[in-house]
């Protein structure tokens, strides 16, 4: 059963035509990796699915659970269960991690957790992510290392309980220990009807997450689909191997 269906999607950024008729289907429960050269539009695709208005959809449609969401705003898509972990999470001075996560989870899930329940859940998640409790009162991402920023994205994912999780290069800037912790936590959080779209350049995270499908994004389209073996070939031979019609 399709969770997300993208049909003939065209997206422009700053008047540059980036996605040019992209088709993609992600099934419920699936882990789907998107690989592709730098600048091919992987982040653009994630932002367009999330509804960021800077990424202008000029053609095609996005269906989520069968519903056309192409014209919905970011917050409306978030409420439907779409979540994007940013490639470069923003620093937000003045808003603590606790505050940000508690507020956004209340808005997105429509459920107001008690203080006690929130604290318990937060403690559990921080332990899983190998982060100290001190982070709860720090300003969101301010002064965080690359790895801590990515862990904080996973923390948000845990509280927002999305149906579609997009991880945009969650593995970039992580050392091996942090990568393992992040990947294992994501696996623990994944439920049977949750789908994960993971954007990456590397096999390392795919060895942990074990994607069902790997799609290659090049020249504004998905040009090839395969299984884990495709990721191995790409890492070994590069994208020209696909471009040259392999």
- Residue 45 or 160 having the CB closest to Mg ion: 45
Choose from Mg ion, ligand ADP, none: what does 120 bind? Cβ within 5-8 Å by kind. Answer: none
Choose from Mg ion, ligand ADP, none: what does 224 bind? Cβ within 5-8 Å by kind. Answer: none
Does residue 44 touch ligand ADP according to CB under 6 A? yes
Q: How far apart are CA 141 and CA 148, in angstroms?
A: 8
- Residue 32 or 136 having the CB closest to ligand ADP: 32
Q: How far apart are CA 20 and CA 84, in angstroms?
A: 22
Q: What does the DSSP 8-state code read for residue 137? A: G
Question: Using CB under 6 A, which of the segments 32-40, 73-81, 95-103, 138-146 binds ligand ADP?
Answer: 32-40
- Residue 37 or 211 having the CB closest to ligand ADP: 37
Does residue 44 touch Mg ion according to CB under 5 A? no
- Alpha carbon separation from 180 to 8, 55, 114, 128, 230 (Å, rounded): 36, 32, 31, 11, 22
Choose from Mg ion, ligand ADP, none: what does 18 bind? Cβ within 5-8 Å by kind. Answer: ligand ADP
Q: Select from 14, 16, 38, 93 the one that contacts Mg ion (CB under 5 A).
A: 38
Question: Using CB under 6 A, which of the segments 35-43, 72-80, 116-124, 129-137 binds ligand ADP?
Answer: 35-43
Q: How far apart are CA 125 and CA 160, in angstroms?
A: 13
167 token code pair = 């991880």
> 3-state class of 62 per DSSP?
strand
Please, which residues have CB within 8 angstroms of residue 161's CB and are 6 or more apart in sequence? 81, 105, 109
Does residue 245 touch ligand ADP according to CB under 6 A? no
Q: How far apart are CA 151 and CA 6, in angstroms?
A: 29
Choose from ligand ADP, Mg ion, none: what does 41 bind? Cβ within 5-8 Å by kind. Answer: ligand ADP
198 token code pair = 């993971």
Contacts with ligand ADP by CB under 6 A lie at 13-14, 16, 18, 36, 38-44, 54
């Amino acid at each position: 059963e399709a969770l997300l269906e993208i049909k003939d999607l065209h997206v422009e950024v700053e008047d540059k035509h980036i996605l040019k008729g992209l088709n993609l289907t992600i099934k419920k429960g699936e882990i789907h990796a998107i690989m592709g050269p730098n600048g091919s539009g992987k982040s653009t695709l994630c932002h367009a699915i999330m509804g960021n208005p800077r990424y202008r959809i000029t053609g095609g449609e996005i269906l989520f659970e069968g519903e056309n969401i192409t014209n919905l705003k970011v917050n409306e898509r978030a409420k439907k269960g779409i979540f994007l972990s940013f490639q470069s999470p923003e620093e937000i001075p003045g808003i603590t991690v606790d505050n940000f996560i508690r507020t956004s989870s209340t808005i997105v899930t429509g459920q107001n957790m008690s203080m006690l329940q929130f604290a318990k859940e937060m403690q559990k998640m921080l332990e899983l992510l190998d982060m100290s409790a001190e982070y709860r009162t720090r300003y969101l991402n301010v002064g965080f290392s690359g790895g801590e920023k990515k862990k904080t994205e996973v923390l948000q994912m845990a509280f927002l309980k999305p149906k579609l999780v997009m991880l945009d290069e969650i593995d970039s800037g992580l050392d091996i220990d942090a990568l393992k912790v992040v990947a294992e936590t994501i696996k623990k959080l994944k439920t049977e009807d949750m789908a994960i779209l993971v954007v990456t350049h590397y096999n390392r995270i795919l060895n942990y997450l074990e994607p069902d499908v790997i799609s290659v994004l090049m020249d504004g389209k998905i040009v090839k689909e395969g299984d884990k073996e495709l990721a191995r070939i790409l890492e070994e031979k590069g994208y020209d191997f696909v471009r040259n019609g392999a």
